[in-house]
Amino acid sequence: MAVPRPVVDTAAGQRFYVRPNRPFKPPRLTAPPANGELNATSNPRPHMKLYYLWIVAFALAAPSWTSAEDKKAPDKPAHKNVNPDEFEKLSKEPNTVILDVRSPKEYAAGHIKNSVLLDFNAKDFDEKVKQLDKSKTYLVHCAVGGRSAKACSKMDGFDFPKVVNLEGGIKAWEKAGKPVEK
């Protein structure tokens, strides 16, 4: 006959069954008797020790399986970030293109002299970037620096060797008192 379990009712109307307090007894890990009979003190699965040993060995060996190429530190971004003064200085060097990656509406509101509009959010942005001459230095900017940083990363991915990002975008450019065309 089953012994009824004690029940605790809470104020919220929930019912909990209380388990009797029994001490935890871990299973004994012993080999089975030589005659093959299992009793209360023998381990029915003696192979489990070996199983756990294999798991530990596998976990310790797995990190060494990665190739040397995978262990390399991630490459630093190929582009460099500069302030407005450095950006202006670089813009006066030969073989340099200023890329404005803002929207056409933002470009019309004011842009750096001789800059080329290449909308970062346009669907064909990647295709247009791939068509650019990789031998030139590209000075990239947007409104505050977010889109231009992403554009520079994309250009890094397309193997452009000389890419420069204007930190703070055209807002930092204007704050530094640099000229803007409308």
The predicted-structure confidence for 128-161, as pLDDT tens digits, reads as follows 999 999 999 999 999 998 999 999 999 988 889 9
> How many angstroms separate the CA atoms of 30 and 145, rounded?
67
**SS3 state at 151:** helix
Above 60 in pLDDT, residue 173?
yes
Least confident stretch, 22-26, 37-41, 53-57, 69-73: 69-73
More reliable by pLDDT, 124 or 7: 124
pTM: 0.59
Q: Over range 57-70, report the average pLDDT.
A: 67
Q: Classify domain 80-175 by CATH architecture.
A: 3-Layer(aba) Sandwich (3.40)
Phi, psi of 88 (to 5 degrees): -65, -40
> What is residue 34's predicted lDDT score, i.e. its pLDDT?
63
The CA angle 109-115-118, to the nearest 5 degrees, is 80
State the pLDDT confidence band at 112, using cuts at 50, 70 and 90: very high
**Rounded to whole angstroms, how far apart are CA atoms 43 and 40?**
8
* CA distance readout (Å), 76 to 71, 73, 153, 156, 159: 15, 9, 10, 10, 13
pLDDT at 137: 92
Residues tagged active-site:
142
Q: What is the DSSP letter of 119?
A: -
Type of residue numbered 17: Y
Tell me how far apart the terminal alpha carbons of the chain are, to the nearest angstrom: 93
pLDDT given for residue 57 in this prediction: 81
